[in-house]
Chains A and B, each alone.
Chain A
Amino acid sequence: MANAQNTTAVGGRTAKTPAATTSTMTILAPLAGWLLPGLGHFIQRRWIRGLLLMLAVFIMFFAGLGMQGRVYAFNTGDLLDILGFVGDLGAGLLYFIARAMDWGAGNIQRAVADYGTKYIVVAGLLNIVSAADAYHIAIGKKQ
């Protein structure tokens, strides 16, 4: 229905109105932003913001891995482990790559490894905030 409202007949052809583009972007921007940090801003031509967000999330995620932090797998155990998984999942492709490459086994013998685990969770949470920001730009709530 939304597509029918957002198309107009121009010279016998249908052309997408700005509303249709906005509608697509409202889905695409947060999804792209979640999958790859900053991409939701890049596709809306917010280059510097996208780059800074990408750097912030990448640095946190890989610094967490460098500190031998733990990447949570899907689990139904302890509540904090479940929340850790949800936070990690926020990093999008970075999370799936880390799981596929078997990174983030954790190291309980290093105190700083626990910081690394928190870094990885917070990188995911910050990426969710970034994706929400991309959505706000797409709906015109923010410039």
Chain B
Amino acid sequence: MTFELSHFSAAVVFAACASTVFGITQRNTTRDMLRYGAYCFALFVGGVIVASWAMWLLKH
């Protein structure tokens, strides 16, 4: 079974899985886990968007 993901969707799936593990393992309380997981997810996806625009600007 193979499937095709776009660059962005691949980055979002990666961010979701990594953020879940980081949130659970790096914090002690449920509330902190959720907050840290969301923070990591936002940084992952935000980093992808910033890097994408930076590359677009470099090209143009």
Query: Which positions in A face B, CB cutoff 8 Å?
Result: 49, 52-53, 55-57, 59-60, 63, 66-68, 112, 115, 119, 122-123, 126, 129-130, 132-133, 142-143
Contact = CB atoms under 8 A, between A and B. Distances in A.
Interface residues of B, number: 19
B10 A122 contact: no
Nearest to B21: A126
A132 B25 contact: yes
A56 B16 CA distance: 8
Contact of B3 (A57, A59, A67): A67
B53 interface: no
Contact of B24 (A60, A63, A122, A133): A133
Given A53-B24, A112-B10, A119-B14, 11 more contacts: A56-B17, A56-B18, A56-B20, A56-B21, A66-B2, A67-B3, A112-B5, A122-B18, A126-B21, A129-B22, A129-B25
Interface string B1-37: 1111101001001101110111011001100000000
B25 A112 contact: no
A132 B4 CA distance: 33
A133 B21 CA distance: 10
B5 A68 contact: no
Contacts of A142: 28
Contacts of A52: 20, 24
B21 A115 contact: no
A53 B20 contact: yes
Contacts of B1: 66
Nearest to B4: A112
A70 to B, nearest CB: 13
